[in-house]
Amino acid sequence: MADLVIRKLGKTYFDLYAGRHVTAVADVSLEIHTGEFVSIVGASGCGKTTLLNMVAGFIPPSEGEILLGDRQVKGPGPDRGVVFQGFALFPWKSVLDNVAFGLKMRGVPRAERLRIAEEYVALVGLAGAESRYPTELSGGMQQRVGVARALANSPELLLMDEPFASVDAQTRMTLQEELTRIWEAKHPTILFVTHDVDEAVFLSDRVIVLTRSPGTVRAEVPIPLPRPRSWGRLVEDGRFKALVARVLALVRDSDPPTNPAGGQERSG
């Protein structure tokens, strides 16, 4: 496993509708350590997904660099798994075959890839549903399949782009609890993008707040809440409420900091 290092990252593109160049992300620098769960929050349009897509290798940065361990990110790779907001499953494949797909593409022998896929299907709580198809599953179950598929490839970094945004509130809370359980079982390194401050605080070891566009780091907020976490224990917890209030205040007051040295606020 390897640390993720982002140095002075920026992305500028030409907006055909506006007829001008637009900077979505500017001068972002941060580190994510092996086994850490870090969420990125910020106002709508602040560049959260653009940042995640650059780390995934889907789009190139305009400036700066991204390192995973000692390797520079130049494009997509098996060292990074991605879970999208949409379920992105193959409707003609069973749960087990969806989870095993990446392993098949890597040339893992059939018996081994099915064993690994079964392990991760069970890990996300879908044991017994291996032969079912995506159309036979609820939205929450489909997203569990997406998480299992990403984890089955043992990526060094798991990237999650608002993966629970399309499910109802109750299912979302259940999936958040399930994700913390999975993280505690396997300790993957996770970079998680969300617009939901409660979700970010509930899940994370640390929350990164981006400024309004162009997005840069406004603050880093450590989340020292004990694990394991559950909504039943935290929903009325004063420490949780105070952290949510602190992050929300930073998001709402997210104009770029005026520090003349160009530094970022660190909220402890």
pLDDT in tens, 126-135: 999 999 999 9
The answer to whether the CB of 131 falls within 8 A of the CB of 95 is yes
Q: Which two tokens stand for residue 199?
A: 């979700």
Among 2, 129, 143, smallest CA distance to 86 is for: 143
Per-residue pLDDT, 165:
86
pLDDT digits (tens, 9 = 90+) for 67-116: 998 899 999 998 999 998 877 889 999 999 999 998 998 899 999 999 99
Per-residue pLDDT, 267:
60
* Cα–Cα dist 260/32, whole Å: 26
Higher pLDDT, 2 or 142: 142
Q: Tell me, what amino acid is at 159?
A: L
The answer to whether the CB of 175 falls within 8 A of the CB of 164 is yes
* Single pTM value for the model: 0.89
CA distances from 137 to 59, 131, 141, 200, 250 (A): 32, 11, 6, 26, 38
pLDDT digits (tens, 9 = 90+) for 215-267: 999 999 999 999 999 999 998 999 999 999 999 999 998 666 554 344 455 66
Domains along the chain? Answer: 4-79+155-266 (3.40.50.300)
Residue 194 CB contacts under 8 Å (≥ 6 apart), including other chains:
39, 40, 41, 162, 165, 200
pLDDT digits (tens, 9 = 90+) for 220-233: 999 999 999 999 99
Task: Output the DSSP codes for 125-136.
Answer: T-TT-TT--GGG
Whether the link from the prior residue into 228 is cis, omega within 30° of 0, is yes
* Cα–Cα dist 248/243, whole Å: 8
DSSP conformational letter for 93: S
CA distances from 115 to 79, 98, 99, 103, 112 (A): 21, 13, 11, 11, 5
Per-residue pLDDT, 213:
85
C-alpha 36 chain-centroid distance:
11
